[in-house]
Amino acid sequence: MPIMLILILNTIVCIIGALGGAFLSIGSIISIANMDVPWAFVLLWMTFLVPVMFVVSGIGGWVLFALRATQWLGWMIGLPWGFAVLFVLAMLATFQFLA
């Protein structure tokens, strides 16, 4: 698959991911505000960073392509997905801790 097609698809997915991440953040803020755990502040920051990571991935992919550093492109594309998985796991672990 050509790199340009990968970048275009990543841009489309990142736009949708940033919007979906913002939606996820809005719902999670309410849950985190009601949590009485010491790391709630970290969860709150992670909530705001989920859509930011999608934006960073979308723009960063094009920057890496312009700098001809395409060996890092896979890491940049995977960045928001890894961060989103970590956020969901942290939320699930917190819910389990509170139960």
Model confidence at 82: pLDDT above 80: yes
| Residue among 18, 3, 1, 13 nearest 66 (CA) | 3
Enter the pTM of the model. Answer: 0.89
Q: How many domains does the chain have?
A: 1
CB atoms within 10 A of CB 69: 11
Give the pLDDT confidence of 20-54 residue by residue, as tens digits.
999 988 988 888 988 889 999 999 999 999 999 99
pLDDT category of residue 93 using cuts at 50, 70 and 90: very high
Domain membership of residue 77 as a residue range: 3-98
